[in-house]
Amino acid sequence: MPIDMRQFHQTFFEESLEGLANMETELLRLEKAGAENGQETVTADLEILNTIFRAAHSIKGGSSTFGFEDVVAFAHVLETRLDAIRDGRLRPTRKVISLLLLSVDCLRSLIISARTGKEGDNSAIDDVRRQLESLESEQPSSPASTVPVSKTPQGKISHWQIMFRPHLHLFHTGNDPLRILRELNDLGECHVQADISSLPGWDRMKPEECYLAWKIELIGPISRETVNEVFSWVAEDCSLEIKLKPMQSLAPRSIAEAVASMDAQAGTLRVSVPKVDALINTVGELVITQTMLSLIASNFSFDNLSRLFSGITQLERNTRELQESVMSIRMLPLSFAFNRLLRLVHDMSQRLGKKVELVFHGEQTEIDKTVIDRLIDPLMHLARNSLDHGIELPAERLAAGKPETGRIELKAYQKGGNVVIEVRDDGRGLSHERIFAKAVERGIVSSSSKLTPEEIAELIFLPGFSTAESVSDLSGRGVGMDVVRNNICSLGGSVEVASQAGRGTCFTVRLPLTLAILDGLSIQVGEHTYILPLVSIVESVRIRPEQVSRPAGSSEMYGLRKEYMPFLRLNELFHIESRSTDLSQGLLVIVEAEGKKAGLYVDDLLGQQQVVIKNLATHYRKVEAISAATILGDGTVAMILDVPGLIRLAHAGTGHATPPVGDAPASTTATPTLN
Amino acid sequence: MATILTVDDTASMRQMISFTLNSVGYEVLQASDGKEALKLLQGKKVDLVIADVNMPNMDGIALVKSLREQADYKFTPILMLTTESQESKRQQGKVAGATGWIVKPFNPEQLLTIVKKVLG
């Protein structure tokens, strides 16, 4: 009965990579523990060591079972070393830990090679392996590969005489002499004679003990190893004599080889059982509701109306619960992204000669898996940035009266429908003069422009901006903060920076909880309905026509509480006939994105609702000012407005001018602010 | 048909073992460490336990010890999964009361052969 081992490969790859990530985290913890003691040698916490060892051990076991020989060979060397560390034969110095971290990389690349079927850089891996092997421990290591004991086939017939005398406690090991006799019988011709000489009298006999012994004659093509193997589990639980009359042999036994070929690289998600149970539960309730509703429908009378309504209420609840359960499946804790930074910070701080402590807060905050995957790069960039530009060299820090070790803090928390992540360092802060000078040099702003510190800080997010004096290979990879902002914006989020000279910098990233569902406000423009993302709405006000101004050569501006902002008439933008041209009949929705505000003139607000986002580009094409579409309850399609796009459009119309100075009368007729 | 409990912290091993055993009709329970195994076995009887040695929370050896103290599991076969290099673990397992061991790496056929032998 052949079993296709390939079906287990995907799980093996995933858990191995996960195991390696754990190993990495634990190794870094180990090193940190050592650094805190201020010692070169790390006093190892046994629990940490065990976890590290277990990861290597599992990978070795799995890869040998599934036939990934390269992985086995490497994992074996690593395991031997880790075992030596665990036993105290090898001391985990910083050098050793660094080498172990390298080994984690090697294993990772080997596993990825196995997964993709592509060859990795074997010379580098061999090099690390040699280094591992040459690590001095106080005892020689075992040979560098596990060779399953294979039996050489021999055709000769042997005649074995076996005296098998189990100890009294044999049953307590779960072994059964009958099993052994049966096994011997399967090997060849077998004659068994029981020896009952040790049986005590009935009164002293304990049923849980084994008093019998057996004399066995075994004839067949059987080697001594085979016979020994039959008794291997009970070798210490019996006295055993195995004598050869003559002859010996063994039938050839095939050692089935695992097929090392590649599974389709399906993007998979590991979900905890309680989450799946909750889902199944909800579906169960949904089915009940459905049955109930069809029952009402099949013999409907108006007397049943109240039952119908209660059924629909129940359906709504089921749907909402189902949605929540399904969404929660896609949620992962942010620690998945945060932990990736540990290694980066470790490697980089060593290269830069800086001392840095990385601290996490709220890493259990959950966020959509897609967001996590796409968040890793921007977060890495922010951390790299803090480390490279923010944190000073130890001497510099001491001179400034700060602790020698810098601190990068990652803090995550949920706020409304958003997850907020702060990347904060206690470094030197942004140098406004240098940023400004650089921006002038790059022609981004003119030297005569007067900018507030906040506006200067914003400059770092502009394309083509980089303040690194020498383009180091660490942060200055030609990827600037503009890419970070773009990446985060493409996730529907935003990033802001705040800084205090000499005290540090804080980047605040705001992200929607999920990419699939949006909290929106439906608005009416003419006969059409549009959706505005709730997060970008500041407030809605009834327009006072006297507060509208039209500066020469720019679009209309609206003055609200001493603040002027451009506004767009959505009906004009989308070429829709508005219900009324009288401004005071409509409403102005103030939206904000990327630190800029704009007003959107709409006919009416319809209400707040959650909508499922349907990508427009895959169904139609990219449309300016529209980010996606959704299907409303009545089956019509509504467009979801792209607020950052609209704001850019509105500000482009104003010719990037600073708002005219002047006091706008305070608006007192603001409609109740939404949210 | 007999019921078998497989205890391993590695999901791929558990999957492989239970798939293999399922395929010939054994009923298979799974646990990811000793603690979970003990919890699972409360008030339940299985015919064979196959447990890994290295596991978090409660390792295979502690599991064997603890099972042997229970009347229901005094004589139940318990097999440990070990590697060639784990001679000392094997000894500890035996002392704790393990029935025998399966040496890693093994393939499904080897596993079935051993299980069939033990369960008869």
What are the structure tokens assigned to A654, written together? 């104003």
The reply to whether A68 touches chain B by the CB within 8 Å rule is: no
Q: Which residues contact A1 (CB under 8 A, 6 or more apart)?
A: B23, B24, B109, B112
Say what angle helices B11-23 and B108-119 make with each other, to 10 degrees.
60
Q: Is the pLDDT of residue A397 over 50?
A: yes
Placement of tokens 């093509």 in the chain: A221
Query: Chain B partners of A149 at a C-beta cutoff of 8 Å?
Result: 84
CA distance A517 to A320: 12
Query: Chain A partners of B103 at a C-beta cutoff of 8 Å?
Result: 148
Placement of tokens 């704790």 in the chain: B96
* From A146-150, A184-188, A198-202, B3-7, the region with the lowest mean pLDDT: A146-150
Q: Which residues contact A152 (CB under 8 A, 6 or more apart)?
A: A250
Last residue of a domain, one of A225, A244, A263: A244
Q: How many domains does one find in chain A?
A: 5
pLDDT band at B84; cut points 50, 70, 90: low
For the segment A435-440, the average pLDDT, to the nearest whole number, is 82
Q: C-alpha distances in angstroms, B34 versus A304, A594, B55, B111?
A: 55, 53, 7, 21
pLDDT of residue A275: 81
Inspect the interface and report whether the beta carbons of B23 and A3 lie closer than 8 Å. Answer: yes
Q: Identify the structural domains of chain B with CATH numbers, from first to last.
A: 3-119 (3.40.50.2300)
pLDDT of residue B67: 93
The reply to whether A571 touches chain B by the CB within 8 Å rule is: no
Residues A354 and A499 in one domain: yes
Which span out of A154-168, A403-417, B21-35 was modeled with the highest average pLDDT? B21-35
Does the CA dihedral A45-A46-A47-A50 come out positive or negative? positive
Say what angle helices A94-116 and A69-86 make with each other, to 10 degrees.
160
Q: Is residue A148 part of a domain?
A: no
What are the structure tokens assigned to A449, written together? 């422009």
pLDDT of residue A362: 87
Residues A470 and A492 in one domain: yes
The reply to whether A260 touches chain B by the CB within 8 Å rule is: no
Residues, chain A, total?
A: 675
Give start and end residues of each alpha helix (H) in A237-304.
Answer: 273-298
Provide the shortest C-alpha distance from residue B96 to chain A (in Å): 8
CA distance A174 to A35: 49
Q: Is the pLDDT of residue A601 over 90?
A: no
Q: Is residue A355 part of a domain?
A: yes
Percent of chain A clearing pLDDT 70 (strictly above): 83
* From A22-26, A295-299, A406-410, A477-481, the region with the lowest mean pLDDT: A477-481
Q: Is the pLDDT of residue A263 over 80?
A: no
- Using CB atoms and an 8 Å cut-off, which of residues 158-217 of chain A contact chain B? 171-176, 178-179, 182-183, 208
Inspect the interface and report whether the beta carbons of A54 and B120 lie closer than 8 Å. Answer: no
Residues A475 and A532 in one domain: no
Q: Is residue A144 part of a domain?
A: no
Cis peptide before B105 (omega within 30 of 0): yes
Residues A507 and A543 in one domain: no
pLDDT of residue B49: 94
What are the structure tokens assigned to A194, written together? 């029981």
Provide the shortest C-alpha distance from residue B8 to chain A (in Å): 10
CA distance A575 to A580: 14
Inspect the interface and report whether the beta carbons of B107 and A5 lie closer than 8 Å. Answer: yes
The reply to whether A150 touches chain B by the CB within 8 Å rule is: no
Query: Chain B partners of A142 at a C-beta cutoff of 8 Å?
Result: 85
pLDDT of residue A248: 32
pLDDT of residue B31: 93
pLDDT of residue B51: 93
Residues A291 and A408 in one domain: no
* Chain B CA closest to residue A55: B10
The reply to whether A11 touches chain B by the CB within 8 Å rule is: yes
CA distance A308 to A305: 5
Provide the shortest C-alpha distance from residue A18 to chain B (in Å): 11
Residues A346 and A474 in one domain: yes
Q: Which residues contact A316 (CB under 8 A, 6 or more apart)?
A: none
Q: Is the pLDDT of residue B26 over 60?
A: yes
pLDDT of residue A479: 55
pLDDT of residue A40: 52
Between residues A198 and A578, the one the model is more confident about: A198
CA distance A397 to A390: 11
Between residues B56 and A478, the one the model is more confident about: B56
pLDDT band at A657; cut points 50, 70, 90: very low
Give ipTM to 2 decimals. Answer: 0.82
pLDDT band at B58; cut points 50, 70, 90: very high
The reply to whether A117 touches chain B by the CB within 8 Å rule is: no
CA distance A271 to A290: 27
- Residue A429 has a CB neighbour count (10 Å cut-off) of 19
Percent of chain A clearing pLDDT 90 (strictly above): 2
pLDDT of residue B29: 93
Find out whether A227 and A216 touch, Cβ atoms under 8 Å: no
Q: Is residue A204 part of a domain?
A: yes
Amino acid at residue number A434: R
Residues A377 and A310 in one domain: no
Residues A385 and A478 in one domain: yes
Write out chain B in H/E/C secondary structure.
CCEEEEECCCHHHHHHHHHHHHHCCCEEEEECCHHHHHHHHCCCCCCEEEEECCCCCCCHHHHHHHHHCCHHHCCCCEEEEEECCCHHHHHHHHHHCCCEEEEECCCHHHHHHHHHHHHC
CATH of the domain at A173: 3.30.70.260
Residues A521 and A571 in one domain: yes
Q: Which residues contact A556 (CB under 8 A, 6 or more apart)?
A: A548, A549, A550, A566, A567, A569
* From A2-11, A267-276, A616-625, the region with the lowest mean pLDDT: A616-625
Amino acid at residue number A59: I
CATH of the domain at A646: 2.40.50.180
Record the pTM: 0.47
Q: Is the pLDDT of residue A63 over 70?
A: yes
pLDDT tens track for A478-496 = 457 777 887 887 777 888 8
- The residue range of the domain holding A199 is 158-244
pLDDT of residue A463: 72
Q: Is residue A258 part of a domain?
A: no
Residues A298 and A342 in one domain: no
Residues A468 and A448 in one domain: yes
CA distance A583 to A71: 71
Mean of per-residue pLDDT scores for chain A:
77
Residue A360 is classified by DSSP as E
pLDDT band at A252; cut points 50, 70, 90: very low
Last residue of a domain, one of A287, A307, A329: A329
Q: Is the pLDDT of residue A473 over 80?
A: no
pLDDT of residue A416: 64
pLDDT of residue A481: 79
Inspect the interface and report whether the beta carbons of B104 and A61 lie closer than 8 Å. Answer: yes
For the segment A159-186, the average pLDDT, to the nearest whole number, is 86
Find out whether A108 and A20 touch, Cβ atoms under 8 Å: yes
For the segment A638-663, the average pLDDT, to the nearest whole number, is 66
Q: Is residue A254 part of a domain?
A: no
Query: Chain B partners of A144 at a C-beta cutoff of 8 Å?
Result: none
Amino acid at residue number A135: L
Query: Chain B partners of A65 at a C-beta cutoff of 8 Å?
Result: 12-13, 16, 104-107
Q: Is residue A663 part of a domain?
A: no
pLDDT of residue A41: 55
pLDDT band at B65; cut points 50, 70, 90: very high
Q: Is residue A23 part of a domain?
A: yes
